[in-house]
Amino acid sequence: MSELEIKSLSTLGQASGAYILDNNNAIYSFDNNVTVNCVNDGYILDMANNSNVVINVFENVNLTYYILKSKNTKRTFNVKGNVNVVEISFYESKELLDVKLDLENASFDYKCLSILDKFNANYDIKVYHNKPYTYSNILNTCVAMTGSHCTFDVSGKIEKGMSKSKCSQKTRGIVMDDDSQIIANPILLIDEYDCFANHGASIGKVNDEELFYLMSRGLTKDESVLLILSGMVNPFISVIPSEKLRNEITFEVDHLI
């Protein structure tokens, strides 16, 4: 396993796998087994397949992490700072995610979009609150069509003594036909009374009332469905920092839905 250290721009130079964004931050891209040590604020673009990725986020570091086109990869986040993750996937995959919040006020925010057409996917997500005053928020979104199956196994653990911690889980999904399925398996393992933990799921077909309203305004059924799905999908795509990648993802989404 190789190792990459996220450094400040003053020491970046011509480091391979990194380039500068308009706001003078750097985005690092990799697609293999790697350990990443984040000692400064930064962006990471992760396109790993069949890999094992370890991300160590140091104290007071703010990391924005994009996972695109990933398949069958395990990621371990050891977090002492603040991490914001956006994952977008369209493929057959089993994604594993282990998150360890190891310092007071550490936070982990994860938003996943999975659009499946004739594919199956499983997301196994585990979050461990190992210190007080830690925060996690897991939001999974899925559109399943043409007999696709997607499962989200999400567990949050707040150890005894980890007071004032917050653990939130939510899954939302739309199944486009009778043969498709989205399953949410939320688990909260709470050993501390002085904390906040919740989970919820909203899974079903496209809302008939929303369809009726849009069609009453002159849209066809297909146009109405596309507009509803775009409202779910676009917030994920719009935050991707690379215009080229935004266009590629948009092209794939348009051809799926």
Summarize pLDDT for 25-69 with one digit per residue, the tens: 777 777 788 898 898 888 888 888 999 999 999 999 999 999 988
Q: What value does the CA radius of gyration of the chain take, rounded to a whole number of Å?
A: 19
Sheet of 149-158: strands edge to edge? 2-6, 34-38, 52-57, 74-79, 93-101, 120-129, 149-158, 181-190
Q: Does 216 map to a domain?
A: no
- pLDDT computed for residue 10 by the predictor: 45
Q: Does 236 map to a domain?
A: no
Tokens 């140091």 -> residue = 58
Which residues lie below 8 Å from residue 185, measured CB to CB, with a gap of 6+? 151, 152, 153, 154
Tokens 């310092």 -> residue = 103
The dihedral of CA 61, 64, 69, 72: what is its sign?
Answer: positive
Q: Does 212 map to a domain?
A: no
- Are the C-beta atoms of residues 50 and 27 closer than 8 Å to each other? no
The DSSP symbol for 11 reads G
- pLDDT computed for residue 15 by the predictor: 47
Q: Does 223 map to a domain?
A: no
Cα separation, 95 vs 1, whole angstroms: 19
- Amino acid 179 reads D
Q: Across-strand partners of 71?
A: 49
Structure tokens, 228: 């509803």
181 pLDDT higher than 90: yes
Q: What are phi and psi of 22, to 5 degrees?
A: -60, -30
Q: Does 35 map to a domain?
A: yes
Tally of structural domains, the chain? 1
pTM: 0.89
- pLDDT computed for residue 213 by the predictor: 76
Q: Does 253 map to a domain?
A: no
The DSSP symbol for 24 reads S
Q: Look at residues 45, 89, 90 and name the one whose alpha carbon lies nearest to residue 63.
A: 45
Per-residue pLDDT tens digits for 186-221: 999 999 999 999 999 999 887 778 777 777 887 787
Tokens 């917050």 -> residue = 166
Check residues 238 and 72 and name the one with the higher pLDDT: 72
Q: Look at residues 87, 147, 76, 95 and name the one whose alpha carbon lies nearest to residue 114.
A: 87
Residue span of the structural domain in which 149 resides: 2-206
13 pLDDT higher than 50: no
Q: Does 245 map to a domain?
A: no
Q: Does 191 map to a domain?
A: yes
The DSSP symbol for 194 reads S
C-alpha distances in angstroms, 177 versus 143, 170, 215, 229, 252? 10, 22, 20, 14, 20
Q: Beta strands 107-117 and 93-101: pairing type?
A: unpaired
